[in-house]
Amino acid sequence: MSSHYPDMCIQIATKQDWPDLIRIYNEAVDTRVSTADTEYVTIESRKSWLVEHQDERFPIFVKNVNDDVVGWCSISAYRSGRPAVAGSCEISYYVSAKHRGQGVASELIEHALAKCPALGIRILFGILLESNAPSIHLLTKYGFKEWGRLPEVAEIDGKRFDHVYLGLQLEG
């Protein structure tokens, strides 16, 4: 999918991007469907996660438009430290509110999928709230299938939601 932004580039996040990552994530908290976090996060509260993602094996990719971060995508370890599942990772992505629906998430997913073989990733999955229909639709567009569902494990504003696990096998 081509982007609406000809001057956009995707690169590995640096520490200087951390405030933008947190800002965009907190915009997702506001949606009440894009994350199971119900309170804003800070750099300090997410510092160990941010540091973990400075490892080249578990990158955070950022999309920049005119030097502004408009979205990001992370690849995270699944059950860190367990060799039998080292080739399985979780994908997460978030787009700033004013850039949603413009192809940013698609570009990030495509970029991440292209990088997975070099990172030794053979299984990729997303964990989403069932209420996040746009992201479920987007991942299924890229071949992800529902691999599991945890019924009513999330509660936001008095409503319960399933966690849906969507998976993709990257090699036969």
| Cα–Cα distances in angstroms (integers) from residue 134 to residues 45, 85, 106, 130, in the given order | 28, 28, 11, 10
Kindly tell me if the per-residue pLDDT of 159 is higher than 80.
yes
User: pLDDT per residue over 17-44, tens digit each?
Assistant: 999 999 999 999 999 999 999 999 999 9
State pTM to two decimals.
0.92
Alpha-carbon distance of 73 to 53, in angstroms, equals 11
User: pLDDT per residue over 63-99, tens digit each?
Assistant: 999 889 999 999 999 998 899 999 999 999 999 999 9
Q: Which domains does the chain have, with CATH numbers?
A: 8-123 (3.40.630.30)
